[in-house]
Amino acid sequence: MIYLVKAFQFATKLLNLLQESRKEQNSSVELHEKALKFRKFVQTLGPTYVKFTQILSVRYDIFPQEVCEELQYLLDEGEEIHFTTILELLKRRLGADKYKKIRTIEREPIGVASLGQVHKAYLRNGDVVAIKVERPEIQQIIVKDLTAIRFILSALSIIPKVKKVELVKYVEEFEYWTVRELDYILEGHNIEEFGANFRLEKRIRVPKVYWDLTADKVLTTEFITGASGKLVVKTFKDNYPDKVVSIGKITIDKKRLIKIFAETTFTQTFIHGFAHGDPHPSNIIASGDNEVTLIDFGIVAKLNTTQTNQFKNFVEAMIKDDPEAVVKCMLETSESNADVNIEQLKIKVTEMVSKYQSASFKEYSITRFALGLMYASAQQGIRWPRYFTILGKIVMTYDGIMQSLDPNVNLFEEYRPLFKKYETDQFTKDFKIEKMALNMKDMLEKFSDFAQNAPATATDILENYQKEGVRVKVINEKHSEIADYEKKKLRMRLWVFILVLLFFGIIYLVKGIDNFLVIAVLLSLFLIFNN
């Protein structure tokens, strides 16, 4: 019964916050205050509700930015597990033989979260490691809480306004992410896959996984020394506008660090399709003068090619300030367009793009622009898929960190040369000289065969017609010479046609200018049919 009571209290206060978020008369300050009140209430309900609200805190399509920002203070929330309990859990989950490999464990945790706790430890072989231990009975607690939450929200869905929000869908999303986050073996594989993707990038690294001291509820990794992202951001803020700061033995160049963040998020989301899903400052460590280590891979965004391209197209459309392209991307990405008010969506997007173009960066940042687009479009019926919101969170988290380092940084401006390089690299990859030469040779051979066989084919057709009694005028010798000349002329024009299209096609792929293709087609047609 207690589970149902907690779920009902949570659901009613959550629905009230949603209702208040949609009132236009509420100022930004008022929204923060209402979200703060809700956050403090959630902290009294236990780890399931804290984690569920963490998931909601990145749903910029159902909450405005002010509410999401306040709820994200729950990201580091967790009640400390007693050290004696930690030791007992390790002995039971690792087994006596493996546990003996640990020489000592520090009593004070280096990380406390809603689902687990991390301690620094020293192995008998001299290695220093970080051991993450899952909270006792947490899976059973989550199952009971989720069952109650799903029941209450399903019952409340008879109310049209509640049904429209589809809160039960977010329970399923929470379940999806949490099941993965509680699987420490899966997290170990995530670390190694991410590390393999960046194996040639010396500026990005991940900790080594100690598989002999890892189980489904225990994860042991290399302990990373360095300065936490939180400390780096605070140091640059305290010493603004310094371009270089020193923390311990590490010297950090602000410009280089911003470049690392921009290139890292770009590579993860638009090239690898495998991104660290929770890159807040606590999970980033400056581990060298020009080196960053990412930790905590419980949540990752793993995408297929279509999903990666959809998100890339959406970001490119925003960078180009193109309302039509933005709306097109939204409609292609939406899980359902049945309830989308397309005309209102176009008006709202055009209005927001115009506002972004005319306002100064400090007045209307990229983060506000992108998050505003997601929220406004959801109000017009766009249903953002799970992967899209997690990618949005990743990009905007990096953007927030970069702006904390330097308020004048524009993430989209950092992305422009990266997109250009990406397109050039793709062109080089897909259209290598050898490949182009082979394709062109093949095309020319086909056209040559066609031109050579055309007269014989025509003769066969004429003979068939003659057999059926159709009258055909016989071509004399002079006409035959003319036909040979016309055949050669046609073959030459086909050559020119191919070369012109190839030339302008290359320009189009590199420059992306549609007019070049139009000119190419018109010029080619002129060359073929002009006498």
CATH number of the domain where residue 122 is located: 3.30.200
Q: How far apart are CA 240 and CA 222, in angstroms?
A: 33
Contact present, 69 and 32 (Cβ < 8 Å) = yes
C-alpha distance from residue 269 to each of 140, 197, 266, 278 (Å): 34, 12, 6, 13
Statement to judge: residues 352 and 370 lie in one domain:
yes
pLDDT digits (tens, 9 = 90+) for 133-160: 999 999 999 999 999 999 998 888 888 7
Give the per-residue pLDDT at 474: 46
Statement to judge: residues 359 and 454 lie in one domain:
no
Domain that holds residue 96: 82-134+184-223
Final residue of a structural domain among 427, 461, 494:
427
Tokens linked to 85: 């309990």
| Residue % of the chain over a pLDDT of 70 | 79
Q: How far apart are CA 120 and CA 104, in angstroms?
A: 9
pLDDT digits (tens, 9 = 90+) for 416-474: 999 988 888 876 765 554 555 555 556 556 555 655 565 555 555 555 555 555 454 44
Statement to judge: residues 258 and 148 lie in one domain:
no
Q: What is the dihedral of CA 15, 16, 18, 21, to 10 degrees?
A: 180
Statement to judge: residues 365 and 493 lie in one domain:
no
Final residue of a structural domain among 427, 443, 460:
427
Among 86-90, 194-198, 384-388, 511-515, the range scoring the smallest mean pLDDT is 511-515
The H helix count followed by the E strand count for the chain is: 21, 13
Most confident of 91-105, 140-154, 335-349, 447-461: 91-105
Statement to judge: residues 31 and 106 lie in one domain:
no
Statement to judge: residues 121 and 152 lie in one domain:
no
Q: In which residue are the tokens 């010297």 written?
A: 251
Statement to judge: residues 268 and 381 lie in one domain:
yes
pLDDT digits (tens, 9 = 90+) for 26-54: 888 999 999 999 999 999 999 999 988 88
Q: How far apart are CA 531 and CA 527, in angstroms?
A: 9
Statement to judge: residues 322 and 416 lie in one domain:
yes
Instruction: pLDDT band for 518, please (50, 70, 90 cuts).
Output: low
Evaluate the omega torsion of the peptide bond into residue 279 and state whether it is cis, within 30 degrees of 0. no
- Pairing of β 116-123 and β 128-134: antiparallel
Q: In which residue are the tokens 């509640």 written?
A: 162
Q: What is the CA radius of gyration of the chain?
A: 31
| Best CA proximity match to 61, nearest among 420, 378, 400, 373 | 378
Q: How far apart are CA 125 and CA 401, in angstroms?
A: 37
- The count of domains in the chain is 4
Instruction: pLDDT band for 391, please (50, 70, 90 cuts).
Output: confident
β-bridge mates for residue 292, sequence order: 204, 286
Statement to judge: residues 359 and 255 lie in one domain:
yes
Tokens linked to 406: 């330097």
Give the per-residue pLDDT at 367: 74
Q: How far apart are CA 317 and CA 307, in angstroms?
A: 15
Final residue of a structural domain among 193, 223, 253:
223
Statement to judge: residues 327 and 215 lie in one domain:
no
Statement to judge: residues 397 and 491 lie in one domain:
no
350 has pLDDT over 50: yes
Q: How far apart are CA 402 and CA 374, in angstroms?
A: 21
Q: How far apart are CA 30 and CA 64, in angstroms?
A: 12
Q: How far apart are CA 366 and CA 371, in angstroms?
A: 8
pLDDT digits (tens, 9 = 90+) for 479-491: 555 556 556 666 6
Statement to judge: residues 380 and 519 lie in one domain:
no
* Spatial CB neighbours of 304, under 8 Å, sequence gap ≥ 6: 273
Contact present, 399 and 318 (Cβ < 8 Å) = no
